[in-house]
Chains A and B, each alone.
Chain A
Amino acid sequence: MWVPFLGLLVGLLIGTALNIPIPGVWAKYLSIAVLAALDSAFGGIKSIFEERFNAAILLTGFFSNTLMAALLAYLGDQLGVDLYLAAVIAFGVRLFQNLAIIRRELLNIWVEKRRLKKRKRDNSE
């Protein structure tokens, strides 16, 4: 369970240490890329719970989602269409769905564990 947290911590430290300069105008596209990355990462965790995890899908999804999200937002700006909003809604909705599934799975595991413990106690009595 600690692997995602540790990874996130290491990533934050690396990001702080590297101090990569990005022009302010790109902030909008980078923000949508971050949203896509969050979605992919949580999707990966969800797939672990659903026992459908595939490393290739996770990594390719992570990269292509972030890049495509940023590119689409940029393209939308050039065309005068707010594709940015479409990406925010699509990734946002999926992100919350994934989070909900993860929460449910974690809850199930917790409940299962308690039931097992209780059964053990009952058996020992």
Chain B
Amino acid sequence: MNKLQNWKIPVFITFILLGVLITVQFRTQQTYLRELSQQSTDDLLQMLSRNDEEITKLEQELIVLDQKLRAVSTDVSTGENLTKELQQDILKQKTAIGLMPVKGPGITITIGADSPIMYLDLIDIINELWNAQAEAIAINEHRVTSWSKIHWSGENNMAVTVNGNKITFPCVITAIGDPNKLEEGLRLMGGVLDDLAIYNIYPVINKEESLEIPAAEIPNIRHMKPKIES
């Protein structure tokens, strides 16, 4: 055996290569066996049925979640509808009591600066306008509401005030409603215009297609409370 001195290195190299080959093959075989195509039919069937079960479970979960989603979205939409209705209600009521700026057809009544007008005349005109189904009235851009007051001013009792604001002349009364009806109401025989004519007051009445009336300020409510009937 020792007669051949040069055998050790080649054999050493050969066996190193053999070892490398064996480990590589071992590892490759392990990964190969783990591949799906190398699994036994029973194992594959079991995996398949397990996956099927998982799919059914997830589908049921999906159905439940879908129902929940639908319920929640219906809730949300009814909530949204309710909010919208409430907002529309509030807007309508604010418009009715004069807390919203409004626009529409109507008439303007201009009273010249040289007219010897009294605050009672203004009240008469306003009453007549309400009577002719005016929906919103303003005097010189001051909105007339249910809590408005029209009176003499304090000092010399010469100026007219609306809601405490002094009225400057020429004074313009704006009213939104049916223009023809409003004018007819003012021009009634023995009505407001006839009364004013006695004092040589001749207001100018104009029908307008589109008028704008500002909002009133919100009144101070301290004592009254809504009475809710149960």
A positions within 8 Å CB-CB of B? 3-16, 18-20, 22-27, 30-31, 33-34, 37-38, 40-41, 44-45, 48-49, 51, 53, 55, 58-59, 62, 66, 109
CB A59 to nearest CB in B, in angstroms, measures 6
Task: Give A22 to B29 CA distance when docked, in angstroms.
Answer: 9
Overall SS of chain B's interface = helix
Would you call B113 an interface residue if the criterion is a C-beta within 8 Å of the partner chain's C-beta atoms? no
A33 to B6, CA, bound (A): 26
**Contact partner, A49, options B1, B19, B28, B31, Cβ 8 Å:** B1
A15 contacts B24, C-beta separation under 8 Å: yes
Task: List 8 contacting pairs A-B, 8 Å CB cutoff, sorted by A.
Answer: A4-B12, A7-B15, A8-B16, A14-B16, A30-B24, A37-B21, A53-B4, A55-B9
Residues of A within 8 A of B24 (CB): 15, 20, 22, 30
- What 5 A-B pairs come out closest when comparing CB atoms? A11-B19, A15-B23, A7-B15, A24-B32, A11-B16
**Given A27-B29, A34-B25, 14 additional A-B pairs, CB 8 A:** A3-B8, A7-B16, A8-B16, A11-B22, A11-B23, A12-B22, A22-B24, A27-B28, A31-B29, A48-B4, A51-B1, A51-B4, A55-B9, A59-B13
Q: Using Cβ atoms and an 8 Å threshold, which residues of chain B touch A13?
A: 19
CB neighbours (8 Å) of B38 from chain A are: 24
Q: Is B10 an interface residue (CB 8 A)?
A: yes
**Residues of B bordering A, CB below 8 Å:** 1, 3-4, 6-25, 27-29, 31-32, 35, 38
| Interchain CB contact under 8 A, A24 and B1 | no
Candidates B3, B20, B25; contact of A14 at CB < 8 Å: B20
Say which residue of B19, B21, B32, B35 sits within 8 Å of A7 (CB atoms): B19
- Is the Cβ of B1 less than 8 Å from the Cβ of A8? no
B1 CB contacts on chain A under 8 angstroms: 48-49, 51, 109
Contacts A26-B28, A27-B32, A55-B7 hold; do A41 and B14 have CB atoms under 8 A apart?
A: yes
CB within 8 Å: A-B pair count: 120
B4 — which chain A residues lie within 8 A by C-beta? 48, 51, 53
How many angstroms between the C-alpha atoms of A9 and B22 in the bound complex? 11
B29 to chain A, nearest CB (A): 5
Tell whether, in the assembled complex, residue B11 and residue A15 are in contact, meaning their CB atoms are under 8 Å apart: no
C-alpha gap A66/B108 in the complex (Å): 112
Q: Which residue of A lies closest to B35 (CB)?
A: A24
- With the chains together, A18 CA to B23 CA distance in Å? 10
Give every chain B residue within 8 A of A62 (Cβ-Cβ).
14, 17
B12 to A, closest residue via Cβ:
A7
B15: nearest chain-A partner, CB-CB? A7
How distant is the Cα of A25 from the Cα of B15 in the complex, in angstroms?
25
Known: A30-B24, A53-B4, A59-B10. A8 touches B32 (CB 8 A): no
Task: Give chain B nearest CB distance to A29 CB in angstroms.
Answer: 10
Q: Is B10 within 8 A of A33, CB to CB?
A: no
Distance between Cα atoms of A24 and B9 in the complex (Å):
33
Compute how far the CA of A9 lies from the CA of B25 in the bound complex, rounded to whole angstroms.
16
Determine whether the beta carbon of B7 is less than 8 Å from that of A53: yes
- Which of B3, B19, B35 touches A8 (beta carbons < 8 Å)? B19
- Across the interface, do B31 and A11 meet the contact criterion of CB distance under 8 Å? no
